[in-house]
Amino acid sequence: MKRARQAQIVRRLFLIGCSIFAAIFVLASDQPVVRIEPTDSVGPRTLEKQTETAVIRDYLKAWRGLSAALEQNSADLLDRDFVGTAREKLAGTVQDQAKLGIQARYLDDTHDIQLVFYSPEGLSIQLVDTVEYDMQLLDHEKIQTTQHVRARYVAVLTPTEVQWKVRMFQAESE
Amino acid sequence: MRSRLSILFASLIWIASAQAVAQTNGLRLPKTIEAGTAFSIPSTGSGKAVLYIVGPGQVLRREVQLGEPAAFASGDLHNAGHYLIVLVGGSSTENGAFDVTAANQPAALSFIARPSRLPVDLHDGISGVAYVFDRFQNLVLQPTQVSFQLSGAAGVPQMRTVLTRHGVAWTKMDSASKEGAAQFEARVGNAEGKRVIQQVPGDPCRLRMNARASGQRMTLETEPVRDCAGNAVPDGTIVTFTETYTGGEATVDVPLKRGIARTEMPAYNGATLSVATGVVLGNEIHWGKGQ
């Protein structure tokens, strides 16, 4: 009896220790690791460094917006970073999730981004991102699963008044 | 940061409390499914379970009977992307994943043509970009041939066939040598996009003027102003006449009317007259006795 109790205490302490260690690890690596592939040629238009930086900054921000929208089931959170087809489709997912009582938490760990096309008139820029993220599924606030995912996304961004917004966002087979 | 931590803690608690849960990863799933097609997911065991298909593009939840395949009708899963499949039964959770790819048949084009107005005879002056979609507005990432054609009232149509890369194809075309509207078209399968490009005369190619006496004054008049392809430069284009004489200079800006610019200036003996429009300089006339 006493032995079982001791084992239980040791197990609890072990779990707490793991949690603290993991929390320290997570706090130290809050931002996703981002790798940018060299962009010698992205098609018909020369890509300035400033444009490249802005596009990647806004794309990564869009991931945070996506994550917040799908976790809180709030389509309004997509407005800052998404337009057009991408916004419509993601908003559809948010609506379906809310209807079904589902939440999905997407946490991007790493991005390996390559800019692949900059249109001649400068109105669209396309990138391919091999992204690794954790997805946690909750049904009526009960965790159903947590999965580590690796997927390749194709995104098309277009310029708006003050930033680039994601117009197309779609995963493809690796 | 808060959500990252909450996921982590929740995961640890979930892992710790779910010792009895076996993750067999035993779901037999296809690697890819074409968007909008019917499919089924087989399961083993008995009892009831909940099947989730989750991705940023779409989410589905179905209550299923274990041991029977869960059938999905055509159109149920229509957004291309990477999906996680989770089957939660009474005592087990099975996970899997598959990709939904765009339908093979392109159904729509997003066609951007620039500029809408440009001078004639410009090499690679017109650009066209086409994004190819299926009927569910998924970007068709399989290489697909897009045909571009630029045709105007005169001349032979320019045609190019370009293979898409990551769902996009682009080309550049020359503007025609004659002014007028041209139709720029992109086509893939039954889908097409059309844009009208207005081709306007370019800069004047050659500028010549004549001068004749008119009492104490002289009348200056250009020959019809045309671009290098022979198109009349639009009325309203400003032509500048300059007269330089001893002790002074006079300048007159005149808009083209019916392709010609005309003005009167004081007639000073020994004056030099010049004419210009835009970056083009015309001939000079030295006004003297007897003219």
User: Per-residue confidence at B3, pLDDT binned at 50, 70, 90?
Assistant: low
Q: What is the pLDDT of residue A10?
A: 63
Q: Comparing A5 with B268, which gets the higher pLDDT?
A: B268
Among B101, B127, B154, the domain-final residue is B101
**Does A115 score more than 70 pLDDT?**
yes
Closest-CA residue of B relative to A11 is B16
Q: What is the pLDDT of residue B186?
A: 98
User: Per-residue confidence at B10, pLDDT binned at 50, 70, 90?
Assistant: low
How far, in Å, CA of B206 to CA of B41, rounded? 75
Query: Domain span at residue B158?
Result: 108-200
ipTM over 0.90: no
**Does A23 score more than 60 pLDDT?**
no
Closest-CA residue of B relative to A100 is B61
- Burial class of residue A134, CB neighbours in 10 A (0-12, 13-18, 19+): middle
* Same domain membership, residue B93 and residue B79: yes
Q: What is the mean pLDDT of chain B?
A: 89
Average pLDDT of the residues in A107-123: 95
Number of domains in chain B: 3
The percent of residues in chain B predicted with pLDDT above 70, rounded, is 90
Whether B13 maps to a domain, the answer reads: no
Whether B3 maps to a domain, the answer reads: no
B187: its two tokens: 């086509």
Contacts of A119 in chain B (CB under 8 A): 112, 127, 129, 168, 170
pLDDT digits (tens, 9 = 90+) for B133-187: 999 999 999 999 999 999 987 778 999 999 999 999 999 999 998 899 999 999 9
Residue type, A114: Q
Please check whether residue B43 is in contact with residue B49, taking contact to mean a CB–CB distance below 8 angstroms. yes
How far, in Å, CA of A103 to CA of A90, rounded? 13
Q: What is the pLDDT of residue B15?
A: 46
The percent of residues in chain B predicted with pLDDT above 90, rounded, is 75
Interface residue of B7, B31, B32, B133 to substitute, partner A, most A CBs within 10 Å: B7
User: Per-residue confidence at B11, pLDDT binned at 50, 70, 90?
Assistant: low
User: Per-residue confidence at B25, pLDDT binned at 50, 70, 90?
Assistant: very low
Whether B25 maps to a domain, the answer reads: yes
pLDDT digits (tens, 9 = 90+) for B65-80: 998 999 999 999 999 9
- The alpha carbon of B147 is separated from its chain's Cα centroid by a whole number of angstroms, namely 14
A33-36 and A102-118: which strand pairing?
Answer: parallel
Among B200, B233, B260, the domain-final residue is B200
Whether B2 maps to a domain, the answer reads: no
B186: its two tokens: 């992109």
**Which CATH entry fits the domain spanning A32-172: 3.30.1330.10, 3.40.1280.30, 3.10.450.240, 3.40.50.300?**
3.10.450.240
User: Per-residue confidence at A25, pLDDT binned at 50, 70, 90?
Assistant: very low
- The alpha carbon of B284 is separated from its chain's Cα centroid by a whole number of angstroms, namely 46
Residues 6+ apart with CB under 8 A from B202: B119, B120, B121, B122, B227, B228, B229, B231
B259: its two tokens: 């392709």
Q: What is the pLDDT of residue B158?
A: 95
Span between the terminal Cα atoms of chain B, in Å: 88
* Same domain membership, residue B192 and residue B147: yes
Query: Are A23 and B86 inside 8 Å of each other by CB?
Result: no
Among B147, B181, B200, the domain-final residue is B200
C-alpha separations of B5 from A140, B14, B122, B201 in Å: 20, 14, 59, 65
Q: Nearest-CA neighbor of B140 among B212, B94, B89, B191?
A: B191
Please check whether residue B14 is in contact with residue A146, taking contact to mean a CB–CB distance below 8 angstroms. yes
* Same domain membership, residue B112 and residue B96: no
Q: Is residue A34 helix, strand or coil?
A: strand
User: Per-residue confidence at B17, pLDDT binned at 50, 70, 90?
Assistant: very low
Contacts of B114 in chain A (CB under 8 A): 120-121, 123
Q: What is the pTM of this model?
A: 0.80
Q: Rounded to a whole number, what is the distance in Å from the CA of B60 to chain A's nearest CA?
A: 8
Q: Comparing B20 with A71, which gets the higher pLDDT?
A: A71
Q: What is the pLDDT of residue B207?
A: 94
**Does A155 score more than 90 pLDDT?**
yes
Please check whether residue B164 is in contact with residue B140, taking contact to mean a CB–CB distance below 8 angstroms. yes
Q: What is the pLDDT of residue B23?
A: 37
**Does B275 score more than 70 pLDDT?**
yes
Average pLDDT of the residues in B26-34: 88
Whether B1 maps to a domain, the answer reads: no
**Range with the lowest mean pLDDT among A34-43, B92-101, B152-161, B217-226?**
A34-43
Strands (E) in A24-101, as ranges, are 33-36
Sheet-wide strand order for A164-172: A33-36, A102-118, A125-139, A142-159, A164-172
Whether B9 maps to a domain, the answer reads: no
CATH number where B165 lies = 2.60.40.1930
